[in-house]
Amino acid sequence: MPDLLRRVAVRTVAFAIAMALVVPLSARSATPIAPETQRLLTAASEPVSLFDRGPAGREASAALSLQEVGPTIGVETLQAAVIPTPGVVAPTVAFGTDPNATPAPPVPIVVAPPVTGSTISGKATWYCCTSGWRGVAVVALPGPLGGRYDPPPASRYVTVCGDRCVRLPVVDYCDCYWGTSAQKVADLSPEAWAAVSDANRSVVGVIPVTVHLGG
């Protein structure tokens, strides 16, 4: 029992000594840091600068900053692209005529010859053209009426009467359904049609005519 009391007393004394040493240290730690000490600690935490704080240092710092800036980008000039204007080409349209041919003289209107045995009446149609006679008022006749190809100059003429009578060169041959119910007595070039009739050939297509075979 005395040993137990001795050990408790020793431990109590040791604890008291330890507390006496710790309490002063804790008190010092709780003491506020002096302003001078705080300034020094703040200065130590800032990055170290190689330049002084005067005008020379500020100029050097500004020059260093400008070196880090990339080259100035110029202002881009935007200009609309110039689109070439296409040339205008006037189309040349020719329906059964030669655009390079010399214009034919107008077809003279003539008086109808007297009706004789050499006169035949019937239907007339129109056709495109005959080689060598493009753009000229000409007529093609059935074979029995003397139709045949005749290059310029023409060797035979007939007078065809519709709304008007005109003297036309016979330059070609047409079958013209001769001897059938659809028989025709003449095939007119576009120029001959316009000279003989006022009808629109694209709409009508067939007109009544009288052909004077004697010229």
pLDDT in tens, 109-129: 877 776 666 999 999 999 999
Q: Establish if 162 belongs to a structural domain.
A: yes
Q: Establish if 137 belongs to a structural domain.
A: yes
Q: Establish if 199 belongs to a structural domain.
A: yes
Any idea of the CA torsion for 150, 154, 156, 160, to the nearest 10 degrees? 100
Q: Establish if 177 belongs to a structural domain.
A: yes
Give whichever of 34-43, 58-67, 111-120 has the largest mean pLDDT. 111-120
pTM greater than the 0.95 cutoff? no
Determine whether 34 is exposed, middle or buried from the number of CB atoms within 10 Å of its CB (0-12, 13-18, 19+): exposed
The confidence band for 32, taking pLDDT boundaries of 50, 70 and 90, is low
pLDDT in tens, 163-182: 999 999 999 999 999 999 99
Please count the structural domains in the chain.
1
Q: Establish if 55 belongs to a structural domain.
A: no
Domain with 151 in it? 119-212
CATH number of 194's domain: 2.40.40.10
Q: Establish if 88 belongs to a structural domain.
A: no
